[in-house]
Amino acid sequence: MSTPAKAPSKKAASKNGASLHRVYSKHMVDGYERAASRAMLHAVGFAREDFKKSQIGIASTWSMVTPCNMHIDQLARQAEAGSNAAGGKAVIFGTITISDGISMGTEGMKYSLVSREVIADSIETVVGCEGFDGLVAIGGCDKNMPGCLIAMARLNRPSVFVYGGTILPGCITGVLAEKRLRKDRREQFAGKNLDIVSCFEAVGSYANHNMDDRELALVEEQAIPGAGSCGGMYTANTMASAIEALGMSLPNSSAQNAVSPAKAADARAAGGAVLDLIKAGIRPRDIMTKQAFENAITVVIALGGSTNAVLHLLAMAHAAGVDLKIDDFTRIGRKVPVLADLKPSGRYLMSELVGIGGQTPLMKMLLEEGLLHGDCLTVTGKTIAANLKRVKPYPKGQDIVRGFDNPIKKDSHLVVLYGNLAPEGAVAKISGKEGLSFSGKAIVFENEQDALTAILDGRVKKGHVIVIRHEGPVGGPGMREMLSPTSAVMGKGLGKDVALITDGRFSGGSHGFVVGHITPEAALGGPLAVVKNGDAITIDAVKHQLTLDIPKSDLDARLAKWKAPKPHYTRGVLAKYAKQVSTASKGAVTD
């Protein structure tokens, strides 16, 4: 972890006034000897009076790589305007983003989790080098959001996160349905909300001969209507919700449509809010406390969020110096119910939650039930409780978010498992619709692609436990998401009849009986490495156990014969990542 220059105390700030609002930038631009620095800044738009203002970095994850981020350049401009109007001098800079959805199921997906570290490093590098006094970071996809927060925690300079917003649903209209859907498909698709997971599951339907070329093409063309992050309670919306509950974004930043006046206003307000944080001396580690992370976990559970939240919150806590463990998810999960009926397991999209008031009414429900720490500080400069004081409840009659008397599930869907297959832990996503236990015979694959092929061509049968190994942080490397095989399982109609376990991870769009993050991973000699076809495996979400049902002596004998596989990459970013990365149970961090 980097050790940035210590920020002034609040007492010192009040004594010395505005100069200490520039604790970092003054070293870049003050004094005759910094004339060359000022000359370069004049060229990028600084006026002489700007050198006396707090400099605010605006980290933009804009790119045309993915619809999640294609609009973020405009939000960055809004944040810039907000900072400038509040008396600061904003400077926009960029960082990378990748697309999980496009690379899913390919070798390219190995770079996905790696990008979180690259993004965090790049933001820390720019802010540290340029001496920015504060930071607004705008993210819109799975890895750039935790990447932004990791950088904020490392830098510990006044910061606000802005979520790029959720996409609107796609839809096949009546006219298109009449022209291009068979009659028996119109009821399934016509007028129904579509999203990216609709496409992944359509692949399974096509392989099962339940869709033809024309129908598959129609779903493909209509599912993604424009800018914004994938529309269910998948990883992007999960992490945005967690970050808001953590206190690092403005109220309801997580629950706004990407293309909307509300989202533009959110970005502009964030630009001004960071100036208030500078004046008040409030920094990320004042906000990102253990109790704040507990709030984030609570909201993720109530929303039925992605298993990736476990990985990313552990990494963010590590950067903030907070002692968060995977067992904290179990402890909190025993008392927090799943309340939101959101995709992938539920019926509704994030845009529909936006339509009834967003996340803040849910947080108020949780606070009133005693499940949130209301005294946690946030980027508004106020506590969670103060932010929620005037929030109105959800409208009567809505059924997107249920009450505590009728939860989707009475405890968490995120279940941490141990046992002889996961001595250091694994993370299951158990909605309850699949049941709470599964026993079956292993069908083993050494990578994701081979598993997907077997599912699509019918080799995976009812009663199988699909084992996909050597996809962990080191073994992949990069811990690919298994959305393609889990969606193919659902599309083939096997969702309740097979399970899937892996040392890789899952997209927030995955559902079914799935267990990921198995630690130690196969590439490091974990028990997953020695599972054989036909072995009996039991997943028990009640006992929190993942068990290979063979005698201990047999397992020990298999492990004694195990030999480490050769790495897939010996040079480049993936090779460097494999040498540095920690286990999934510690957040797959690299510092």
List residues bridging with 171 in a β-sheet: 193
94 half-sphere exposure, CB direction, 13 A CA radius: 10
8 Å CB contact between 306 and 235: yes
Contact in structure between 408 and 336 (CB atoms under 8 Å): no
143 assigned ligand-binding residue:
yes
Q: Is 103 a catalytic residue?
A: no
| 276 marked ligand binding residue | no
Tell me if 215 sits within 8 A of 180, measured CB to CB: yes
SS (H, E, C) 456-518: HCCCCCCCEEEEECCCCCCCCCCCCECHHHHHHHHHCCCCCCCEEEECCECCCCCCCEEEECC
Rounded distance between C-alpha atoms, residue 188 and residue 582, angstroms: 44
What are 55's strand-pairing partners?
89
Residues 6+ apart with CB under 8 A from 483: 100, 104, 105, 197, 200, 506, 507, 509, 510
Catalytic residue among 412, 507, 510, 585: 507
Query: Is 199 among the annotated ligand-binding positions?
Result: no
What length does the chain have?
A: 591
Q: Are 339 and 348 in contact (CB under 8 A)?
A: no
User: Does the annotation place 33 within a ligand binding site?
Assistant: no
In eight-state DSSP terms, residue 527 is G
* 456-475 b/e (C-beta count within 10 Å ≥ 16 → b): beeebeeebbbbbbbbbbbb
Contact call for residues 466 and 431 (beta carbons, < 8 A): no
Place of tokens 């409780």: 385
* Interatomic CA distance for residues 467 and 469, integer angstroms: 6
Beta-bridge partners for 56:
90, 134
129 labeled binding residue: no
C-alpha 548/C-alpha 442 separation (Å) is 9
CA–CA distance, 360 with 401 (Å, rounded to integer):
12
> Which are the catalytic amino acids?
507
- In the annotated binding site for Mg(2+), the residues are 100, 142-143, 481
- In the annotated binding site for [2Fe-2S] cluster, the residues are 68
- In the annotated binding site, the residues are 68, 100, 142-143, 481
